[in-house]
Amino acid sequence: MADVPQITDAGADLATAFANAAKISASQLALPEGAEKRYQSVPTDACNYGKANFWDDRYARSENAFEWYHPYPALAVLIGQFVNYDDTILIMGCGNSTLPEDMYNDGYERIVCVDLSRVVIDQQQEKYADLPIQWVQMNMCDSLFENEQFDAVIDKACLDAIYCHELGEASAKAALQEVDRILKPEGVYFMVSRGLPEERLEVLEVEDVKEKGYLAWQVQVHAIAKPAVDVKYIPNLADPTSVYYIYVCEKDEALHDAKRLWLAKLEAKKRGEGQVKRGRTGRGRRGGRRSRPVGV
């Protein structure tokens, strides 16, 4: 377990209110009427979140930092329970959040940030030129990272944005397969989302290794209170309209090995079928059928 990061005075109130996210189960959820009016609304342009040109235009118009869901001080304690200071960390869908800077200042020094928008990556590279943080423009549905490259992947609203693509579910599943692939056998995927457990767990928990969407991890679900318009309001963590969800997906080495062996078996079978198919053509170099040897 990692050392708990030190929280600055500026974030102390947030930490007190939100950092101790409560572990929950789906059976605890309820849907009281009218509760959604207490909280900050979803931006009306959410349908465009899966488009790169939307983000390029948005960041070109404003370079002001924007935090999805919660800033780092509200998440620091829980992150510190699963991520070590010397871990190699990928922040996917980094945008212009201060999360990378805040984590670096807390002691996490091996940070790589990825975003679909070239505009925001260029902006962040210039803004944080004095920090040893790597900035990469990349589509997480088809990344260029090596297998087992990262100890931790942190996602604050990135998968939620991918779901807004016209091929949202397929794209989200592709992104999750990439996360699983680039995580080390004992790595962790830390995702902050507005997606309900009954929706997200359908893709995060696939139990049969033979299923195409299988992911080699165990999932914990935590609830964290939404920032309320009325600061005096006391949230109900069992009310899904009052909270965001944190999905902590811990890789399991045995599950990882089982998936690796199954994929290797499928690849070998595919190669074998290809060889059999080529062998059954019965064609010689010139495209004609092979002659039968005389006397046979």
Query: Which domain CATH number covers 189?
Result: 3.40.50.150
pLDDT band, very low/low/confident/very high, at 164 (cuts 50, 70, 90): confident
158 assigned to some structural domain? yes
Q: Indicate whether 294 pLDDT > 70.
A: no
35 assigned to some structural domain? no
Higher pLDDT residue, 34 or 181?
181
Q: Indicate whether 285 pLDDT > 50.
A: no
74 assigned to some structural domain? yes
**In the chain, pLDDT over 90 holds for what percent of residues?**
50
12 assigned to some structural domain? no
Higher pLDDT residue, 58 or 37?
58
Domain that holds residue 238: 45-276
Task: Tell me what pLDDT residue 136 has.
Answer: 96
14 assigned to some structural domain? no
> In the chain, how many domains are there?
1
Higher pLDDT residue, 260 or 101?
101
Task: Tell me what pLDDT residue 42 has.
Answer: 41
13 assigned to some structural domain? no
Average the pLDDT over each of 230-244, 253-267, 279-293 and give the range with the smallest value: 279-293
- The most confident of 56-65, 76-85, 218-227, by mean pLDDT: 76-85
Average the pLDDT over each of 27-41, 199-213, 261-275, 278-292 and give the range with the smallest value: 27-41
30 assigned to some structural domain? no
> Helix/strand/coil (H, E, C) string of the chain?
CCCCCCCCHHHHHHHHHHHCCEECCHHHCCCCCCHHHHECCCCCCHHHCCCHHHHHHHHHHCCCCCCCCCCHHHHHHHHHHHCCCCCCEEEECCCCCCHHHHHHHHCCCCEEEEECCHHHHHHHHHHCCCCCCEEEECCCCCCCCCCCCEEEEEEECHHHHHCCCCCHHHHHHHHHHHHHHHEEEEEEEEEEECCCHHHHHHHHCCCCCCCCCCCCEEEEEEEEECCECCCCCCCCCCCCCCEEEEEEEEECHHHHHHHHHHHHHHHHHHHHHHHHHHHCCCECCCCCECCCCCCC
38 assigned to some structural domain? no
Q: Indicate whether 119 pLDDT > 50.
A: yes
pLDDT band, very low/low/confident/very high, at 173 (cuts 50, 70, 90): very high
Q: Indicate whether 193 pLDDT > 60.
A: yes
Q: Indicate whether 33 pLDDT > 80.
A: no
